Structure 1
Amino acid sequence: MRPFTYTDVENKDQALNAYTETSHYLGGGTNLVDLMKEDVERPDQLIDLQKLDYKKITSNENGGLTLGSLLSNSETANHPEIRKKYPLLSMAMLSAATAQIRNMATNGGNLLQSTRCPYFYETSMPCNKREPGSGCGALDGMNGLHAIFGYSDKCIAVNPSDMNVALAAIGAEVEVFKPNGDSRMIPFSDFHRLPGDQPQKDNNLEPGELITAIHLSDPVFSDHYYYLKIRERSSYAFALISVAVGLQIKGGTITKTGLAMGGVAHKPWKLTKAEEFLAGKAATLTNFEKAADLAMREAKPFEDNKYKVEMGKKAIVRALSQAFERKI
């Protein structure tokens, strides 16, 4: 690990004022510190945010809840109001990592998780995300864990977060503060970005912007929901494919669907066409299978990850079926 300075701040303004082009904000550090140890991230300064007062869950004007960015994943997932109103989010977050890591990891940090692509972590290998212009080792290398949607010839890595997939299905906004003190709201669908020609940018934050909250919309998927995570081993592993489903059902008819996948793209992959297809349809296996076929129609796999297409179809059908059958 390279030398760096450590700055302890008491409030948001001090954090924003301390930021420089070579700084990183430090929440729980469960991802950032690992990247520093691997010499992937090389900040000259860490700005510790733990004393900032963004560790609460409160009601918001949209009828939903607002999550503080520095609240831990465990505290968020196990909060009574989250379990009651947003059980899909709770289920997804509790499927991630280990209890020890969830106790440390923060909501804001979870939004910013870096890919676990082995070429990104191995500094001797080419990686446009780590070193723009160096190439992408995964394109012609081992790409069984990589993207089948939304990638470019610069990067085929995937977003690793479980929380992000659930948020994509539920709908949310991310509140951030700029270095000049102004705030802005970013729709969750616009927070992460596809690689394009700038794979080093995982999100649409401007330099120095500080995440303070995640605003959840009015809860509509508290009865019928499911988070399915398929992985190589059942403990402490990232998803090969994951599916987050929320259904609003009246009289056996689907009135609203939230549907997103993880492990398939550079950002949580919203299945908009499948959502639109299911609107007004009966909650039947046939319609779930049609929605799954529609969702996976534009997948473009590589030789090593062709399995994700068929696995994705079956995962979507299974998750939709489990969501329909689940009733609190």
Structure 2
Amino acid sequence: MGSLTTTSIQPVTAALTRSATFLVLSVTAPSAIPAIRSTLASVSSLARNVAFRDSDANLTCTVGIGSSMWDELTNNLPRPKELHPFREVKGAKHTAISTPGDLLFHIRSERRDLCFEFERQLMDRLGDSVQLVDETVGFRYFDARDLLGFVDGTANPVGPDLPPSVLVASEDDPNAQGGSYVVVQKYLHNLAGWKSLPAEKQEQIIGRTKPDNIELDDAEDGKQASHKTLSTIEDENGDEHGILRDNMPFGSPASGKFGTYFIGYTRRLWVIEKMLERMFRGHPPGLHDELLDFSRPLTGTVFFAPSATVLDGLDG
């Protein structure tokens, strides 16, 4: 991967925390742009000020900028090569919908109160320059399981494999070096329907065992593939391309709402787009990801998280 020695990166590779807030906002008017730029340039200092209250709580905030407002918010900095609005993926039975969003704030901490305090100060600064599109508060569920009962994020790249999977390199796009493409989708689960399935059928759909998270063998070619298989992406040379998932469960038992907030960071946007095509249209076509029979996407938005160097300089 190209050198990042002169580029400071945002905390896209921060470790999974116990709490997270996913905040998607839209810009209210062109006159709001200068105030938003100023706020974006101050995010790193704002995070330091709040994190100082408990340095062990690992508070971070990653900022993503949507395609429709990239030029305005960055004062016409070169556009990342793959940045475009989320492309709807329509299958025979299920659809990955596209929803609006100009700004993404991915706030993470071991402590919910620090996420809250950072968001409060952030929104005080943004004021009426933005409008809320979606706010989702996520939490870690036991040993990093989703509300379907399976461990989530097992296939994430780790160690030296992480930066090459997540961060754009100079040879990919020198103007986007050190940044990362981000895709978010808010999925709502039919938990009652899921629980009615035998554990063996659940494991077949996911592609892993439920108690101990052991990977199951892939289905034969032409047969129904598991979620694990459909979301594993290889290029024409057979090289596998990983993404970083920092998914979080969310929900309210009293209201009967249970879900997973999917957030994927990637060096190459096409990797996640191909994953969604395989899930929603099927691979082979017609055999969609059976997980979608119990998990419905409510949102779908693409952002680009520029390097911290770019973000800090937006007020210049």
| TM-score normalised to structure 2 length | 0.24
Higher relative contact order (CA 8 A, sep 6+): 2
